[in-house]
């Protein structure tokens, strides 16, 4: 399965654009071809009201990669079952991304 970390900003015509400056989106995509997996990730980010941007990370992952990280293993397992899992690490308008950012799942 592929993992991507993709920067995104809310679409201007959405309610979240009033409060949210942007997000880093962790994407687990259960698809064997890298280019297809990335296209799916970007498609679903856009369908959730965001504009996908720069890709900061990309790698092939397996369940064993998360043996010491139960929360990440849960996201991996969700993508294994559903085909994809997205975790948004968002920050408010005008703020830098920091440890206090809001985290939501799509």
| Residue whose structure tokens are 């830098």 | 96
Strand order in the sheet with 102-105: 50-60, 2-10, 20-29, 84-92, 102-105
CB of 95 closer than 8 Å to CB of 21:
yes
Query: 11-56 pLDDT, tens per residue?
Result: 999 988 989 999 999 999 999 999 999 999 999 999 999 999 999 9
| 89 pLDDT tier (thresholds 50, 70, 90) | very high
| Whole-number Å distance between alpha carbons of 96 and 79 | 29
DSSP 86: E
Spell 33-51 as b/e; 16+ CB within 10 A means b. Answer: eeeebbebbbebbeebbbe
Number of independent structural domains in the chain: 1
Residue range of the domain that includes 61: 2-105
| Residue whose structure tokens are 């965001």 | 50
* pTM over 0.85, yes/no: yes
What is the mean predicted confidence (pLDDT) over 68-95?
Answer: 96
Query: 47-73 pLDDT, tens per residue?
Result: 999 999 999 999 999 999 999 999 999
């Amino acid at each position: 399965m592929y993992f991507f970390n993709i920067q995104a900003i809310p679409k201007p015509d959405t309610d979240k654009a009033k409060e949210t400056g942007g997000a880093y989106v962790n994407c687990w995509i259960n698809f064997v071809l890298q280019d297809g997996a990335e296209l799916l990730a970007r498609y679903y980010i856009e369908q959730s009201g965001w504009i996908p941007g720069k890709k900061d990370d990309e790698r092939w992952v397996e369940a064993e990669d998360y043996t010491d990280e139960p929360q990440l293993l849960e996201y991996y397992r969700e993508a294994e079952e559903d085909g994809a899992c997205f975790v948004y690490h968002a920050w408010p308008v005008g703020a830098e991304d920091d440890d206090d950012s809001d985290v939501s799942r799509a």
